[in-house]
């Protein structure tokens, strides 16, 4: 079951936009949102990939095809790039 966010989506998007645009640091964004800096990095990654809608709460988990999963594993094992880079793809 997805965890309910302690911050409103509109505020999350606002803080993430400021961080991504370079107006505030990750630490400042984390302080404003009252979350860990790692959460801000995760929000930024999602925002870059999916836009503001990606930060909205969902009712169910994402589903990925077996083919996509296999491709990601093979790319990771080949050592072409790191885990976060593969996840962004």
Plot region of 79 (φ>0 → left; ψ -120 to 50 → alpha; else → beta): left
pLDDT at 77: 85
The domain spans of the chain are: 1-58, 60-88
pLDDT at 9: 93
Going from the C-alpha of 19 to that of each of 34, 47, 84, the distances in angstroms are 14, 11, 19
The pLDDT tens digits along the chain (89 residues) read: 345 567 899 999 999 999 999 999 999 999 999 999 999 999 999 999 889 998 988 777 777 889 888 888 888 888 877 766 766 66
Separation CA 59–CA 48 (nearest Å): 21
Separation CA 83–CA 33 (nearest Å): 26
Which tokens is 25 given?
């640091």
């Amino acid at each position: 079951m997805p965890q309910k966010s302690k911050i409103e989506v509109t505020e999350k998007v606002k803080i993430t936009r400021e961080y991504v645009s370079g107006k505030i640091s990750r630490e400042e964004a984390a302080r404003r949102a009252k979350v860990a800096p790692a959460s801000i990095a995760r929000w930024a990654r999602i925002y870059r990939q999916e836009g503001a809608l990606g930060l909205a709460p969902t009712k169910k988990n994402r589903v990925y095809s077996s083919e996509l999963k296999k491709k990601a594993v093979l790319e990771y094992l080949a050592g072409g790039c790191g885990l976060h880079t593969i996840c962004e793809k």
